Structure 1
Amino acid sequence: CAIDNNQIFQICVDNYWTNSSCTSGNYCLYRGGAATCVDKATAEAPQIPCNTINATQCFNGDSTIYQICYQNIWTNATCDEGTVCGVSKGNAVCHDPSQPIVDIPVEPCNDNGAKECVVGNEALYRVCTKGLWTNLTCDSTNVCRENDGRVVCVDKDKADLSLTMHTLFAPSAYRAHENKAASLRLSYSWGASALLTVAAFAFGAGL
C-alpha cells in the first residue's frame, strides 16, 4: 500500500513499483503479506484474531456489517444496500430486514413456547419450539428487552425509556366482563316477577 495515499496500492512491474488505485470507496489494506482493496469498514476495523478460516459472524454494533475469518483475522464486509446481517444455521447472512430469518441452533429446551432475549446479540430473541431454541430477529432497528417476565422488541433509541412497544406475545381475545352478582339479581328479579304473575292469575281465577 502507498504510504501517502490509502486508496493506492503498488505492483512491482519490470522491477519498478507501479501505482494502482482501488475502486471508488475502497482502501488499501496490507494483510497476510499482500495488499488488498477493501471497503472503508474493513479498512478501519481493529484486527481481532480468529481460529476457524472462513467462519462468519455478524458485527456487534452495526447490523449492516458482517465478519469473515480471513487469514486468522476477523475481516469486515458490508451487506448489500437495504439488507442487514442475521444468523442462519450458525452462519452470518445478509437478508431483507422486513423478513426476519429463523435460525434453529442445536440447543434443547423444555418449556415449549417460552421466549427470552439472546445473550450477546440484542437484535435477537429466541422461542422454544419443538424442544429446540429457535432464534428470531426483531424488526428493523428494534432490540430485545425483558420486562415483568415478558420478552418484547422495542425501538433501540427508546429501549431504556419504554418496554411496552412491539410485544412478542399475541394479544388475548377480548372477553366482556361478567358481573355474577348482577346476573344473580337479574335472575331473581325475573323469577319473582313470574311468580307474582302466576299468583295473580290464580287469585283472579278463584274470584
Structure 2
Amino acid sequence: MTIIPPNPTYNPRKKRLINKGFKALAARDFTLAAHYFNLALALDSSDKRACIGVLIADIAQDFPKKAEIFTELYQILLASAPRAQHNAIHTQMLEILRDFDTSLDHISHAAQAEDSLESEQLNGIAYKDFTTLCQAKGFKEVFENLIFSTKIIFTERDDFYQFLKDLIHYGFKQIALTYIEDMPQIAYNSEIQEILKQF
C-alpha cells in the first residue's frame, strides 16, 4: 500500500486567514488585513498569496487607491487564468509589488537627502532631526544648545505648532511668543489662537 504524504503547503487555517485578509482589504480595513496575512505567514513564510496580501496592505496605508488597483489586477489575473498558471501569476504579482515598493524607497531616500541638503544650505537642522536629538538628550538641553547657532527648518505646519507647544511646556514662553509675532497676521488660525491662550 502506497501512502501519499500530506502537502506541507496546504493548511486549512492558513487558507482561511488569507481569505479573511483579502476580505478585510476589500472592506478597506488595512490594519486587520495585514494582521491576517501576517498570521498566515507565521504558518507558512513562503506562501506567495500571504506575501502579496502583506505588501498590498502595506501600500494601502499610504496609497489606498493604488492598493485597490493592485488587488483588482491580482483578482483579474487569477480569474482569467487556469489554476495551473496561478503560481506564475503569484510570482508576477510579487515582482510588480516589490518594484513599486522599491521605487517608493528610492523616492523617500531622495526626499530625505534633499531635506538634509536644504538644512545644510540654510545652516539649520531639520525638525525631524531636532526631535531625534530631543529624544536622546531632552528638549530643553537640545534647544538651549541650538538656539543661538542653528535654525530649525520646518516643512510641515503641524510640526511648527508642536514646536511652539513644546517651547511653552519647557518654559520658553517668550521665545514661543516671538516666533508667533514674527508670523504674518494672515497665518493666525484656530491652532495658533489655541496656543496663544496658554500665555
| Length-normalised TM-score, structure 1 | 0.24
Query: Quick check: which has more Rg, 1 or 2?
Result: 1
Q: Greater helix share, 1 or 2?
A: 2
| Length-normalised TM-score, structure 2 | 0.24
